[in-house]
Structure 1
Amino acid sequence: MKSSYSVITESLGNNSATALDFSIQRRRQEIIKRLEFLPPLPTAAQEVLSIVADDPKDIIRLEQTIRHDPAMTSQLLKVANCAAYAPRTAIDTVQRAIVYLGFSRVRNIALSLSIFGLFKSKKAMKGLKQEEFWTHAIATATVSRMLALERDEENTEVSFTAGLLHDIGRIAISACFPEEWADILKYAEEEDCPLLVAERRVGLSHSLIGAWLARNWGLPEIYVKTIATHHLPVKHHKATHMGALVQLADDICHKIDMGIFPAPGIQRPVLIAYLGLTEDLVDEIEKQLGELEEITKTITDVIEC
Structure 2
Amino acid sequence: MNEVKAQLPRLDRSEILAKVQNCPRLPSLRSIDTALRDLLNADQRYTLQISEVIRRDPSLTARLLRLVNSVYYSLTTPVNSIEEAVFYLGVRQIRQLAMVTPVIEDFQKLASRTPFPWRSFWQHCIATAILTREITNSVVQVNDDCDYIAGLVHDVGKIVMASAFPEHFREIYSSTPPHQDLLELERTLLGMDHAELGGAYLESHNLPRVMIYSARYHHEPAAATEQSSIVAAVHIADLLARKAKIGNSGNPAEVDEQDWKSSPAWDLIFKNHSEVEMAITRGNFQRTVEMLPSILDGIV
| Structure 1 residues 104-253: aligned runs within 5 Å | 104-120=92-108, 124=112, 126-155=114-143, 157-186=145-174, 188-189=176-177, 192-201=179-188, 202-215=190-203, 219-253=207-241
Match of 1:38 among 24, 31, 35: 24
Structure 1 counterpart of 2:253, which letter?
Answer: P
**How has the CA–CA distance of structure 1 residues 283 and 75 changed in structure 2, closer, same or farther, with 3 Å as cutoff?**
closer
**How has the CA–CA distance of structure 1 residues 62 and 148 changed in structure 2, closer, same or farther, with 3 Å as cutoff?**
farther
Deviation at 1:156, TM superposition (A): 6.3
Corresponding residue pairs, total: 273
Deviation at 1:134, TM superposition (A): 1.4
**How has the CA–CA distance of structure 1 residues 248 and 24 changed in structure 2, closer, same or farther, with 3 Å as cutoff?**
same
**How has the CA–CA distance of structure 1 residues 250 and 62 changed in structure 2, closer, same or farther, with 3 Å as cutoff?**
farther
Is 1:94 the counterpart of 2:88 in the alignment?
no
Q: Is the 8 A contact 1:48 1:62 kept in 2?
A: no
Structure 2 CA distance for aligned equivalents of residues 266 and 292 of structure 1: 18
Is 1:273 the counterpart of 2:257 in the alignment?
no
Runs (4 or more) in structure 1 with deviation over 6 Å come to: 49-52, 264-267
Q: Is the 8 A contact 2:111 2:160 kept in 1?
A: no
**How has the CA–CA distance of structure 1 residues 263 and 175 changed in structure 2, closer, same or farther, with 3 Å as cutoff?**
farther
Q: Is the 8 A contact 1:138 1:163 kept in 2?
A: yes
Structure 2 CA distance for aligned equivalents of residues 81 and 197 of structure 1: 42
Structure 1 CA distance for aligned equivalents of residues 169 and 62 of structure 2: 33
Q: Structure 2: which 5+ runs fail to align? A: 1-10
**How has the CA–CA distance of structure 1 residues 225 and 109 changed in structure 2, closer, same or farther, with 3 Å as cutoff?**
same
Is 1:57 the counterpart of 2:41 in the alignment?
yes
Structure 2 CA distance for aligned equivalents of residues 222 and 62 of structure 1: 28
Structure 1 CA distance for aligned equivalents of residues 15 and 295 of structure 2: 41
Give the structure 1 partner of residue 6 of structure 2.
Answer: none
**How has the CA–CA distance of structure 1 residues 188 and 237 changed in structure 2, closer, same or farther, with 3 Å as cutoff?**
farther
Structure 2 CA distance for aligned equivalents of residues 283 and 154 of structure 1: 21
Match of 1:81 among 29, 52, 69: 69
Q: Structure 1: which 5+ runs fail to align? A: 1-22, 301-305
Q: Is the 8 A contact 1:82 1:298 kept in 2?
A: yes
Q: Is the 8 A contact 1:48 1:107 kept in 2?
A: no
Deviation at 1:147, TM superposition (A): 0.6
Matched residue of 1:231: which SS? coil
Is 1:262 the counterpart of 2:253 in the alignment?
yes
Structure 2 counterpart of 1:198, which letter?
Answer: L
Structure 2 CA distance for aligned equivalents of residues 72 and 249 of structure 1: 25
Structure 1 CA distance for aligned equivalents of residues 42 and 241 of structure 2: 30
Is 1:296 the counterpart of 2:288 in the alignment?
no
Structure 1 CA distance for aligned equivalents of residues 179 and 110 of structure 2: 25
Structure 2 counterpart of 1:197, which letter?
Answer: E
Structure 1 counterpart of 2:262, which letter?
Answer: R
Matched residue of 1:47: which SS? coil
**How has the CA–CA distance of structure 1 residues 227 and 79 changed in structure 2, closer, same or farther, with 3 Å as cutoff?**
same
Structure 2 CA distance for aligned equivalents of residues 182 and 56 of structure 1: 40
Deviation at 1:238, TM superposition (A): 4.2
Structure 2 counterpart of 1:41, which letter?
Answer: P
**How has the CA–CA distance of structure 1 residues 194 and 142 changed in structure 2, closer, same or farther, with 3 Å as cutoff?**
farther
TM-score scaled to structure 1, two decimals? 0.76
